[in-house]
Structure 1
Amino acid sequence: MLSQTHYLIRSRIDGQYLVARLRAGESPTEANYLLLFKEHYDALSYLNTHAAGVSDRFSVESIPATQLKSIMQRWGFKGLGLVQDPLEPQIQFLVYE
């Protein structure tokens, strides 16, 4: 995973990354997981399928795996959500420790 390039979806309006927000058990606080795509076209497919009306408000950016840790720390994400299938989202969640 460290030698790979990943693709993220980012808002052109406020610069926020696309995340999955999960509640941890009975806790009222949410945990944000940064969504990662294996290919640029997977991220575009996700946008076109699930946000067709607002897809022009987002951009896809590439990031080397070596920079993931700094993004996770800077934005305070709980972990990563690796999107397996962008059309019918199957997401593998990985907790960052």
Structure 2
Amino acid sequence: MKKLVAGGVAVVAAGALAVPALAATKTVQVKDNKFVAKSITVKKGTTVKWVWKGQAPHDVSVAKGPAKFKSSVQTSGSFSKKLTKAGTYTIICTIHQPDMRMTIKVK
């Protein structure tokens, strides 16, 4: 660590401390029989958070992709998943398929 002395006070030089990057989060609304974001692209390690905004019950399920996950059926609240495998995910609501779907590209 590099220290500078300014007026008798030791100061840590900018850039001397490495600060880890904060993990990214991308939010998608689950509303009115659609995902509000038909397609998103995120980096590996991003957490995708689905937030329920409508009245109808929905779930979030991977129909096709490099990893599988599924939320419970909900009418409120949220569900989050950290995506660590690169590839294309087709996300559906199993109640409202085939019309309620979205794509997530993880790079």
Same fold, judged at TM 0.5 (above): no
Structure with greater strand share of residues: 2
Question: TM-score, normalization: structure 2?
Answer: 0.28
Higher Rg of the two aligned structures = 2
Structure with greater helix share of residues: 1
